[in-house]
A and B are shown apart, each in its own frame.
Chain A
Amino acid sequence: DAGITQSPRHKVTETGTPVTLRCHQTENHRYMYWYRQDPGHGLRLIHYSYGVKDTDKGEVSDGYSVSRSKTEDFLLTLESATSSQTSVYFCAISLADSDYGYTFGSGTRLTVV
């Protein structure tokens, strides 16, 4: 009964195609985040949300968009996938701000060929 699930877990897509990753939570947490994790760079924030329809950019937001139409769902879209977006993507949730700690999903491994 995981409180946060990501789908799909793995995806291979072609350069130039749009891709949407989904994050679903059952914890009713206000804050949701999308990170990417790459060797040598660690975890970097892409976008985050502090409520329904309230989102903001993170450190590496270029080429990505997000939407949050319901508390429980946070979607990450790669408008036109590029090879540099090959990565492992993690969604995280938080009850309040960062001082409360994050709960992470299991990740989506995306390969752009």
Chain B
Amino acid sequence: TQLLEQSPQFLSIQEGENLTVYCNSSSVFSSLQWYRQEPGEGPVLLVTVVTGGEVKKLKRLTFQFGDARKDSSLHITAAQPGDTGLYLCAGGSQGNLIFGKGTKLSVKP
């Protein structure tokens, strides 16, 4: 069974701080995606990475796919209250997505 472990589970920080969220597995994935979910809504796709070692930037968010395509990280620079939410990583496997349990981020003004 393929699993994606996310850490930390919970993160509470002050506005302006930097943070990194990790997504790890012992399995190789064809792609790795990051989603953000707000209360009462479905997850929204932030980015897809498909090449080992790939780095993608989305404004203050930086996503990295591990060289072996088994892990990924999400780094947020100068976090803002609007970044608050549940961050989910998901790995592509045999045509479907396997999701991690998420990191719940709270950014306080």
Contact = CB atoms under 8 A, between A and B. Distances in A.
A103 B45 contact: yes
Interface residues of B, number: 23
Contacts of A101: 33, 45, 48
Contacts of A40: 101
Interface in A40-84: 40-45, 48, 50, 58
Given A99-B48, A99-B50, A101-B45, A42 B96 contact: no
Count class of interface residues, chain A: 20 to 34
Contacts of A107: 40-42
Contacts of A14: none
Interface of B: 30-31, 33, 35, 40-45, 48, 50, 88, 90, 92-93, 95-97, 99-102
